[in-house]
Amino acid sequence: MEQTLFLISIAVLFLGFAFLGLSGGIFRLRALTNKKAWDGWTKPFLLIGAVLFLVGLVLVYIFYPYK
């Protein structure tokens, strides 16, 4: 059971990384096309990614197998 929770926490952590990466990619694409870089999906992906990253980090810390 603990190993399953640890793997879920790793998945949440990487999902946070993915959303942060998407946010950065959208920011650069919008800046390249001369649109306002912080409009569109940049801020929502950044907020979702930051929350998922922090939650995943805390879960990894809690469920890390010490054995």
DSSP 64: -
Phi, psi of 64 (to 5 degrees): -65, 130
pLDDT digits (tens, 9 = 90+) for 2-12: 789 999 999 99
Distance CA 30, CA 18 (A): 18
**Angle (CA) 59 13 18, round 5°:** 165
Kindly list the domain boundaries of the chain, sorted by start residue. 2-63
Q: pTM for the full model?
A: 0.89
% of the chain residues with pLDDT over 70: 99
